[in-house]
Amino acid sequence: MSNADAAWLRMDRPQNLMVINGVLSFDQPVDWERLRGVLQERLVDPFPRFRQRVHEPRLGIGAPQWEDDPAFDLDLHLHHVALPAPGDRAALEAFVGDRMATPLDRARALWEFHFVEGYGEGCAVVARMHHAIADGIALARVLFSLTDTGPEPGTADDVFVQREGGALDALTRPVGAAVSLGRGLAGTAWHEGIETLAHPRHAAEIARTASDDMLTLAKVLAARPDTDTVLRGSAGIAERVAWSEPFALDPVRDLAHAHGATINDVLVAATTGALRTYLLDRDSLVDEIHAIVPFNLRPLDEPLPRDLGNRFGLVTLPLPVGIAQREGRLQEVMRAMGRIKTSPEGPISYALLGAIGVTPAPVEAALVGVFSGVGSTVLTNVPGPRETIYLAGSPVRGALVWAPVSGNVAMSVSIFSYAGSVTIGVMTDAGLVPDPGAIVSAFTEELAALSSL
């Protein structure tokens, strides 16, 4: 297991499981037996991680290893359930929240699918995969490789598409860096992370001097916990989740063009406004909070490797919740996004993640703290297929994928674009943020208000 993958295994806690959760919804029933065959053919057979388990070293010394599960049985990872009455979105949200709080069985391969009957006139599929297998972008690509562009089976092309200037914008653009920091540091963890990111193909995209890299490293290591609000605190085990109905992407694109912004800028500004409303209503408003944003470091135009793995860094994005004017918030978000696009913070954080698990315990604890206390939310914005796709012959109505949180971070916000629409989903710690639906509603209202600017 690579150092970066082992980092996510090490960060598993009962109150914050390092599991990536996804939901696909359908307006009609799915042929479960056909879907089982798809999972065997397109998930288990091509990617060994889905039939392997984790082997921990004796006495806890050394890195964990992947090993084939000698008793692997696909059916042990597939669960058929009936959604309780009335079978509406609230019932599915409650079911997904309960699953999010349930650990995966370490004696088996670290993933599971739930086939949910009785969701309205259709059904749902809830997918759960451990972060040690791969990062969220890679697992989203794996998830959509199970689908076809029509109801009949076809070639499982990679339908994970990035629109130019679209929802992810720079946050998933394949980037790398000539990170000179690596030249002055010893150890296999540092070398692994830096060498990967210094590939000549990407070196020209973000070039930094050694002093710049050292300043960024100092910034990452010295990051202080985010300002205390009702969004932060000691996490419990119970989770809550809520999501919106899909809304059209074209008006968001028009709004972005009118302001010289990207779709991503507008969606982040709407998220900022929704969090401002939530904080204001609870007398917890501050000038600024921070979102932890995954920064993709893997080219999207290349096939996924068979061993998958994690190839991303983390950056902190300031959210100007204290600014009352919507246009002012949008402009400040645009400036912050511009700084992220040219920062080596993502590649350097990837190298730091690689050090977790191969350093002395006090150092490891400090590094985990770097990634678990600096933000108030994890924020992901994933672009799915631009056209309707089909899973086992049934059209997918909607999709969401949530990244896990750690430490005192109580919330993960997922914005997912698919088939000309956008959906927002909010996962929260039930004790700290018991009403994620309030944030979803505020986001919808904020986006409508932004459109009127």
Of 402, 408, 406, 403, nearest to 226 by C-alpha is 408
Beta bridge partners of 409: 232
Q: With helix as H, strand as E and coil as C, how does the chain read? A: CCHHHHHHHHCCECCECCEEEEEEEECCCCCHHHHHHHHHHHHHCCCHHHHEEEECCHHHCCCCEEEECCCCCHHHHEEEEECCCCCCHHHHHHHHHHHHCCCCCCCCCCEEEEEEEEECCEEEEEEEEECCCECHHHHHHHHHCCCECCCCCCCCCCCCCCCCCCCCHHHCCCCCCCCHHHHHCCCHHHHHHHHHHCCHHHHCCCCCCHHHHHHHHHHHHCCCCCCCCCCECCCCCCEEEEECCCEECHHHHHHHHHCCCCHHHHHHHHHHHHHHHHHHHCCCCCCCEEEEEEEECCCCCCCCCCCCECCEEEEEEEECCCCCCHHHHHHHHHHHHHHHHCCCHHHHHHHHHHHCCCCCHHHHHHHHHHHHCCCCEEEEEEECCCCCCEECCEEEEEEEEECCCCCCECEEEEEEEECCEEEEEEEEECCCCCCHHHHHHHHHHHHHHHHCC
Residue 438: both structure tokens together:
């309030």
Residue 402 pLDDT > 60, yes or no? yes
Lowest mean pLDDT among 19-23, 163-167, 292-296, 314-318: 163-167
Instruction: Go through 49-86 and write b for each residue having 16 or more CB atoms within 10 A of its CB, e for each that does not.
Output: bbbbbbeeeeeeeebbebeebeeeebeebeeeeebeee
Tens digits of per-residue pLDDT, 259-297?
999 999 999 999 999 999 999 999 999 999 999 888 777
Segment 341-345 mean pLDDT: 63
365 or 317, greater pLDDT: 317
Per-residue pLDDT band for 350 (boundaries 50, 70, 90) equals low
Which residue is it, tokens 């060994």?
48
Residue 403: both structure tokens together:
């990244």
Of 212, 228, 231, nearest to 220 by C-alpha is 212
Residues 6+ apart with CB under 8 A from 342: 206
Tens digits of per-residue pLDDT, 435-447?
999 999 999 999 9
- pTM reported for the whole predicted model: 0.83
Domains, the chain, in order of start with CATH, read 3-144 (3.30.559.10), 169-381+404-451 (3.30.559.30)
pLDDT score at 5:
87
Tens digits of per-residue pLDDT, 69-112?
999 999 999 999 999 999 999 999 999 999 999 999 999 999 99
pLDDT score at 194:
26
Per-residue pLDDT band for 368 (boundaries 50, 70, 90) equals low
Rounded percentage of the chain residues whose pLDDT exceeds 90: 55
Cα–Cα distance between 95 and 89 in angstroms, integer?
10
pLDDT score at 203:
34
Beta bridge partners of 80: 115
Which residue is it, tokens 């983390």?
314
Residue 171 pLDDT > 50, yes or no? no
391 or 223, greater pLDDT: 391
Amino acid (one-letter) located at 86: P
pLDDT score at 451:
84
Of 129, 74, 79, nearest to 100 by C-alpha is 129
Per-residue pLDDT band for 167 (boundaries 50, 70, 90) equals very low
Cα–Cα distance between 114 and 107 in angstroms, integer?
19
pLDDT score at 16:
87
Which residue is it, tokens 């080596």?
344
pLDDT score at 83:
97
Of 231, 167, 246, nearest to 424 by C-alpha is 246
Segment 380-395 mean pLDDT: 90
Residue 224 pLDDT > 70, yes or no? no
Residue 198 pLDDT > 70, yes or no? no
Instruction: Go through 252-288 and write b for each residue having 16 or more CB atoms within 10 A of its CB, e for each that does not.
Output: bbebbeebebbbbbbbbbbbbbbbbbbbeeeeebeeb
pLDDT score at 10:
82
Segment 184-197 mean pLDDT: 26
Residue 195 pLDDT > 60, yes or no? no
